[in-house]
């Protein structure tokens, strides 16, 4: 079970997530997001984190950006993976040499199957997909819950990160219902858009880990 704290905008929040036991941090490079961070600011945070020798995975979140821009940011900010949260075609993942995975927002099992057929053959690591809540205008960060039944269907065949409306109060239930490879949270652990609440971050991580303990 991997735990990703997404929408990191400052060093304090990054350090709080690492201290709480998160496995991955997400940095949002979509300029319209309230959790946007510039590549230079992300690079500064990453420089400090690298000195900690922490095994944290750093993920850049992109929406409809060219592959060349994504690759440049991954390199400049020392990021491990790109999360493609827009309407990107499979060719973008190919152009990033396997350093990316696709976020999808399926409204049905049929849509989920279609997306899985398009993107999972290109997965060169973990996860293969991120499942988020469907929204007609927004590309994530809505606080709305994903369809757990659709996510469970995908998780039965693929390595799936579950996002969408997760909080410290419901993440254990989500893990029990979906059995994902990992969980991803942003708004559910915030004190305000773009600012994390350290107590909620720790509560989220503890709840997710506690769910695993019960399953074992």
Please tell me the predicted confidence (pLDDT) of residue 76: 97
What pLDDT does 194 receive?
93
Q: What's residue 183's pLDDT?
A: 97
Given this model, what pLDDT does residue 97 score? 84
Instruction: State the catalytic residue, choosing from 6, 13, 42, 147.
Output: 6
Q: What is the number of H-type helices and E-type strands within the chain? A: 8, 10
Q: How many CB atoms lie within 10 A of CB 98?
A: 12
87 is catalytic: no
* pLDDT single digits (tens) 104-131: 999 899 999 999 998 987 766 668 899 9
| Cis amide prior to 127 (ω within 30 degrees) | yes
**Helix pair angle (39-51, 11-20), 10° resolution:** 40
Q: Is the Cβ–Cβ distance between 106 and 134 less than 8 Å?
A: yes
Catalytic residue among 13, 115, 132, 184: 132
Q: Rounded distance, CA 155 to CA 161, Å?
A: 9
Check if 173 is active-site: no
3-state DSSP call for residue 161?
A: strand
Q: Which residue ranges of the chain lie beneath pLDDT 50?
A: 136
Structural domains for the chain: 2-215 (3.20.20.70)
Distance of alpha carbon 104 from alpha carbon 2, whole angstroms: 18
Mind listing the pLDDT tens digit for each residue in 131-160? 998 654 555 555 678 899 999 999 999 999
| Contact criterion met (CB below 8 Å) for 32 and 61 | no
């Amino acid at each position: 079970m991997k735990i990703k704290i997404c929408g990191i905008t400052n060093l304090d929040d990054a350090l709080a997530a690492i201290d709480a036991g998160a496995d991955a941090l997400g940095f949002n490079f979509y300029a319209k997001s309230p959790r946007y961070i510039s590549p230079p600011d992300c690079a500064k945070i990453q420089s400090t984190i690298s000195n900690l020798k922490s095994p944290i995975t750093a993920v850049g979140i992109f929406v409809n950006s060219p592959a060349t821009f994504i690759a440049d940011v991954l390199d400049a900010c020392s990021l491990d993976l790109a999360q493609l949260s827009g309407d990107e075609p499979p060719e973008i993942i190919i152009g990033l040499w396997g350093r990316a995975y696709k976020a999808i927002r399926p409204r049905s099992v049929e849509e989920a199957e279609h997306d899985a057929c398009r993107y999972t053959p290109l997965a060169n690591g973990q996860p293969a997909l991120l499942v988020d809540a469907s929204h007609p205008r927004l590309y994530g960060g809505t606080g709305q819950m994903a369809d757990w039944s659709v996510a469970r269907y995908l998780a039965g065949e693929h390595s799936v990160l579950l996002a969408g409306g997760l909080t410290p109060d419901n993440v254990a239930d989500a893990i029990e219902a979906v059995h994902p490879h990992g969980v991803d949270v942003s708004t559910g652990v915030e004190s305000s858009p773009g600012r994390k609440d350290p107590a909620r971050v720790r509560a989220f991580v503890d709840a997710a880990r506690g769910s695993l303990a019960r399953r074992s």
